[in-house]
């Protein structure tokens, strides 16, 4: 029998382990074979503004990400962060070269976030997708979100 005064701690532990069990859905399937192939060391999103990538990215996003970040990126109180405003700091930058660097930085952050997920103090807040989504699929998702950014 668990003493009653330990119940809150137990509940926290159970909630934490439910989160820790968060895994990337292995049934997510994304076909990127129609997109131009990318090299191993691509720098920045190679599919920015490409309609075919945006369409594939939308489908992939809604399969893999929407449950935590909102359908089509429309964040409505789900556990994940809003993703449509990720680039808002780059928007007002007038110098095209600096603006491009700002987006590149966000590209990098986006790719790493999705590939490795987010684990804090041992709790998985977002699962790692690197075994399920190829870089092509992740760039396609980024292209879709960028096409909808506010
Ligand atoms: C199980 C829920 C869950 C799923 C599924 C999920 N995420 Fe997340 N994601 C989160 C949470 C929670 C955070 C915030 C974590 C933190 O910063 O500690 C986050 C953070 C992020 C960030 C960083 C955002 C920022 O501004 O710091 C990106 C980018 C991201 N997710 C993209 C995605 C993409 C793309 C997918 C689909 C491939 C996805 N996520 C699937 C829960 C999820």
CATH number at residue 140: 1.10.760.10
pLDDT of residue 43: 84
Whole-number Å distance between alpha carbons of 80 and 146: 17
Whole-number Å distance between alpha carbons of 142 and 131: 18
Q: Is residue 40 part of a domain?
A: no
Query: Is the distance from CB of 60 to CB of 133 less than 8 angstroms?
Result: yes
Q: Looking up tokens 């790692």, which residue turns up? A: 128
Q: For 124, phi and psi rounded to 5 degrees?
A: -80, 110
Provide the 3-class DSSP secondary structure of residue 120: strand
Range of the domain at 124: 50-150
CA-nearest residue, atom 37 of ligand 1: 65
pLDDT of residue 149: 82
Q: Is residue 22 part of a domain?
A: no
Whole-number Å distance between alpha carbons of 142 and 150: 14
How many domains, in total, are found in the chain? 1
Query: Does pTM top 0.85 for this prediction?
Result: yes
pLDDT in tens, 53-96: 999 999 999 999 999 999 999 999 899 999 999 999 999 999 99
Best CA proximity match to 134, nearest among 28, 59, 52, 54: 28
Q: What is the whole-number distance in angstroms between the Cα of residue 15 and the centre of ligand 1?
A: 19
Query: Is the distance from CB of 35 to CB of 51 less than 8 angstroms?
Result: no
Q: Is residue 5 part of a domain?
A: no
Residues contacting ligand 1 via CB (< 6 Å): 22, 64-65, 67-69, 79-81, 83, 86, 110, 113-114, 118, 120, 125-126, 129, 133, 141
Q: Is residue 125 part of a domain?
A: yes
């Amino acid at each position: 029998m668990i003493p009653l005064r330990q119940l809150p701690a137990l509940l926290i532990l159970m909630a934490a382990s439910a989160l820790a069990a968060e895994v990337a859905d292995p049934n997510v399937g994304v076909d990127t074979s129609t997109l131009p192939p990318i090299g191993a060391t691509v720098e920045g999103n190679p599919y920015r503004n490409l309609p075919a990538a945006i369409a594939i990215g939308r489908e992939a996003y809604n399969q893999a990400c929407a449950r935590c970040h909102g359908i089509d990126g429309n964040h409505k109180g789900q556990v994940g962060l809003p993703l449509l405003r990720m680039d808002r700091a780059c928007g007002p930058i007038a110098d095209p070269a600096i603006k491009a660097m700002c987006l590149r930085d966000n590209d990098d952050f986006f790719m790493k976030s999705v590939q490795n997920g987010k684990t804090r103090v041992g709790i998985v807040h977002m699962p790692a997708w690197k075994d399920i989504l190829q870089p092509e699929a992740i760039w396609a998702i980024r292209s879709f979100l960028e096409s909808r950014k506010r």
